[in-house]
Structure 1
């Protein structure tokens, strides 16, 4: 469908206006509306009431010239294309009209072909401008994403870190950078959220963190881009001013204010890692050093770190005596172990000699100590610590001192709860008692539910009770069935289901084999005996 255009004709001579309207073929030229005005004032009133695409205006009018109107239109309605007409072939008029932005300049009387040609020219210009405006709007909307994609591609080495490759990409993507610009990267990392968040709420807060960084860190003094990264992190790429090589004076203060704002309003502990000035091709290297600095910051939250000021002691570190801790663990001294671990890590933090590698060593040694104790008692560690909370704490354990202590405490307490609460045999007996109504009550199933090795469980159960697990389960089922048959009016089929037999015939055969009577005979004999005892008691 072709676009339609609105035309305004302005001339102080009414017959000229009427003649132009008569000559115009509105359908052929796709003109939907034609407005008329006889003075500059009337023309301005039309503009204020209706949109006008093309203005056809006389230059010489008694109450204000067409040139004055043209200047006013270009200032207030720049999208309108103007064609001026006049009775005098004056070069001065033509020159001024073109300088003011008139699209064409026609002499009266205007031949129809020339008029149509001028209107077609105006329509073409409007179409080109419209396409350009649409492209510019789309480009403006998507430009931040294009810039963000550029930095991500560079950091992920999709774009080679070479001057020539970067220069080509900048040109192809029409990016606002030059090869001699310098940038300052700032890595922002959320260490932890202060409350539980679902995925939607976390995304909302991450968006708020980005907007807040734009306002508090970039502000008005520096231009730059914010590149979202994985795991609640983002990279701020500041564009440095020419000749600016160091860290801008207010930046550290702005980052600290941003950290305080995030802690107060966005429920998170966060840190900022400020890099060093670099050309675009040098940025991946600086970013790699920033991520190493972030990874090794396992001791501090809500702080600003400078890449150039990263000084860590190189003194050898003595690891704790895990054998001593193992003795404490066997004795159940869980609070002492957690206190010892916390004190040890606190000393390392004060001496500035703790990093991610050290936390990894402590994590592995501590885990080995706990798992060794569990193995001695036949407890499957992967079952005991297979719950979501244990898995989450284990994953985060080496991220920080805080997280490692939280994992140590959880691990020690959960392990000792399993070994101290009651004997293994008591646990198994309790489990069997609570699940007698289940058809499948096997040795392996019981072992899985109590986190124990099946063979280990069988040995200690037989040693302490004199029964195998399967014999004990059968004995308990028959014992409970006898109780229900003798003391309740439950249907025999219900009694069978209550002790784990869905097949009535199978229950009857098993019961008769071990009790010497069928369930029905057992009920009659025991209920008669119970009635007889009750009668004797009453007669007394």
Structure 2
């Protein structure tokens, strides 16, 4: 619905127009009247006005003066002049001021309604256009983001013609002369334990911080979220813009420092070189490879220019010497050797992902070999969650690799020392057997896995210490506990069988009789007859 203001110094004209108009038909919800320019301005200041129907020549100011004021203060209002003067000068000025129509008195009702209908139509069209414009403004960053993602994923072919067509199709603010500078921002690690929801919140904070510190007032720059704490920043450059402005490096350094202090993370920025839009995927892949191979540096800005390439061949440390140190428990020497080697490789430019992986494989092979000599099963010893996580993350950086080295050496030496204490190992095995007699599976391999020892090695030291094989000891313990339960409790025989690890009742009965010369019920009756003073030995 629309609001109409009629301005004319002739009260009869105002009343006549008011009487003749079918307000409901025209969609007019509010009708205001004024008899001079001053009154008209007061109406505007009190009420919103969509359509102004105005005379030109009036005392205390003309309609043309009023229209000039309306254009300045209420430009959304549409104006129709109704005048007695067919003066070309008036008509020309009215058109220049943006009057929608110019009608001569006496005006036919049909002409007046047509002019008002024309005004309401234009208002509707403008309102709809403004609505879509607002939507476009709101979603334009998403359109740009979608364009760059489609280009990176090769949904848009990487050729100038296809890229140009998609830019025009999506109405992107770039020209044929626009070049682009890509920057990858990549989180290396979080310094706090974060839930998936917390990570999303922190990634949003990192993006907003990048908008403020790195992008700043550059309205043509795009920020594209990638994955796992990674962002792609694309700066659009015009002719004469500096390829890699020093201030961009400074902004990235400031951003890194801010994120490190306030968002509990280490990250790096990788600045590419200026390319055409269709060259962005290749430049992005180059930067991603640089990011992928950065295992040596934290919180640093990298420039694509002048990056040295390694040939993939690195000299690995003498693992025979390291194995000797691990056998002797020289923990600090191994840790110092590892730190020195990784530091030297970093300083000489030979440190990349491949080199770090080679180091990890050789180091673990050495550690597992030493453990195997002690009868310790490394795959069991390092099957816990922490060991697995550290091993997975180790090739992410030198820092993470040293965390794995510390963990592996600590655990290997501790277990080696424990295995060297035969009495301690045997006691641990006995405790495990006592606590788990109800398990169906109580094999030598299962028990050896609990103390991280090779089954053959464990069998040798267990028999040497106790005089029994592991299987004989388990059997004796099962019979001993079964006799206790039969003589001192009313537990059903089937329950006793299950308690000591026999789910098959007949098999339990057969084994029990073999070692006691009576079946379980006979043994219970015998013990009751004797007063159950003590179990039979």
TM range (shorter): 0.7 to 0.9
State the partner residue of 1:436: 437
Deviation at 1:401, TM superposition (A): 0.8
State the partner residue of 1:535: none
| Unmatched tracts of structure 1, length 5 or more | 532-540
Say which of 46, 49, 54 aligns to 2:43.
46
Is residue 232 of structure 2 the alignment partner of residue 228 of structure 1? no
User: Equivalents in 2 of 1:450, 1:530: separation in Å?
Assistant: 34
Residues 113-262 of structure 1 mapped to structure 2, 5 A cutoff: 113-220=110-217, 223-262=220-259
State the partner residue of 2:474: 473
State the partner residue of 1:279: 276
State the partner residue of 1:5: 2
User: Equivalents in 2 of 1:83, 1:446: separation in Å?
Assistant: 98
State the partner residue of 1:73: 70
Deviation at 1:140, TM superposition (A): 0.9
Residues 282 and 96 of structure 1: is their aligned pair in 2 closer, same or farther, counting only changes over 3 Å?
same
Deviation at 1:117, TM superposition (A): 1.0
User: Equivalents in 1 of 2:359, 2:41: separation in Å?
Assistant: 81
Greater mean deviation of Cα atoms: 270-279 or 285-294:
285-294
Q: Secondary structure, in 3 states, of the residue corresponding to 2:246?
A: coil
Is residue 525 of structure 2 the alignment partner of residue 521 of structure 1? yes
Q: Secondary structure, in 3 states, of the residue corresponding to 2:302?
A: strand
Q: Secondary structure, in 3 states, of the residue corresponding to 1:421?
A: helix
State the partner residue of 1:265: 262
Is residue 389 of structure 2 the alignment partner of residue 392 of structure 1? yes
CA contact (8 A) 1:326 1:369 kept: yes
Deviation at 1:285, TM superposition (A): 2.7
Q: Normalising by structure 1, what TM-score?
A: 0.87
State the partner residue of 1:26: 23
Q: Normalising by structure 2, what TM-score?
A: 0.87
Deviation at 1:485, TM superposition (A): 5.7
Say which of 336, 344, 348 aligns to 1:339.
336
State the partner residue of 1:322: 319
Q: Deviations over 1:288-338 (max 9, x none)?
A: 222222223222111222221424677974210112222333444444322
CA contact (8 A) 1:511 1:519 kept: no
CA contact (8 A) 2:222 2:235 kept: yes
Q: Deviations over 1:208-260 (max 9, x none)?
A: 11111121122236741112222211121122241234321322222111111
User: Equivalents in 1 of 2:252, 2:341: separation in Å?
Assistant: 31
Residues 80 and 317 of structure 1: is their aligned pair in 2 closer, same or farther, counting only changes over 3 Å?
same
Q: Secondary structure, in 3 states, of the residue corresponding to 2:232?
A: strand
User: Equivalents in 1 of 2:430, 2:327: separation in Å?
Assistant: 24
CA contact (8 A) 1:437 1:498 kept: yes
Deviation at 1:502, TM superposition (A): 7.3
User: Equivalents in 2 of 1:294, 1:383: separation in Å?
Assistant: 34
Q: Deviations over 1:418-475 (max 9, x none)?
A: 4543456554433222222445545665466556677887787678766565543332
Q: Secondary structure, in 3 states, of the residue corresponding to 2:156?
A: coil
Greater mean deviation of Cα atoms: 237-246 or 197-206:
237-246
Residues 119 and 450 of structure 1: is their aligned pair in 2 closer, same or farther, counting only changes over 3 Å?
farther
Deviation at 1:382, TM superposition (A): 4.8
Q: How many residues align?
A: 527
Residues 71 and 321 of structure 1: is their aligned pair in 2 closer, same or farther, counting only changes over 3 Å?
same
User: Equivalents in 1 of 2:474, 2:308: separation in Å?
Assistant: 65
User: Equivalents in 2 of 1:530, 1:399: separation in Å?
Assistant: 63
Deviation at 1:265, TM superposition (A): 0.8
Residues 433 and 39 of structure 1: is their aligned pair in 2 closer, same or farther, counting only changes over 3 Å?
farther
Q: Secondary structure, in 3 states, of the residue corresponding to 1:41?
A: helix
Greater mean deviation of Cα atoms: 353-362 or 383-392:
383-392
Residues 7 and 437 of structure 1: is their aligned pair in 2 closer, same or farther, counting only changes over 3 Å?
same
Residues 470 and 60 of structure 1: is their aligned pair in 2 closer, same or farther, counting only changes over 3 Å?
farther
Q: Secondary structure, in 3 states, of the residue corresponding to 1:397?
A: helix
CA contact (8 A) 1:148 1:225 kept: yes
Deviation at 1:198, TM superposition (A): 1.1
State the partner residue of 1:63: 60
CA contact (8 A) 1:179 1:279 kept: no
Deviation at 1:391, TM superposition (A): 2.9
User: Equivalents in 2 of 1:464, 1:482: separation in Å?
Assistant: 25
User: Equivalents in 2 of 1:522, 1:79: separation in Å?
Assistant: 109
Q: Deviations over 1:392-439 (max 9, x none)?
A: 222221121111111222233334444543456554433222222445
CA contact (8 A) 1:179 1:280 kept: no
Deviation at 1:114, TM superposition (A): 0.8
Greater mean deviation of Cα atoms: 424-433 or 278-287:
424-433
User: Equivalents in 1 of 2:154, 2:312: separation in Å?
Assistant: 35
Residues 299 and 507 of structure 1: is their aligned pair in 2 closer, same or farther, counting only changes over 3 Å?
same
Residues 115 and 165 of structure 1: is their aligned pair in 2 closer, same or farther, counting only changes over 3 Å?
same
Q: Deviations over 1:34-91 (max 9, x none)?
A: 2223333333333333332222222222233222222222222222222121121122
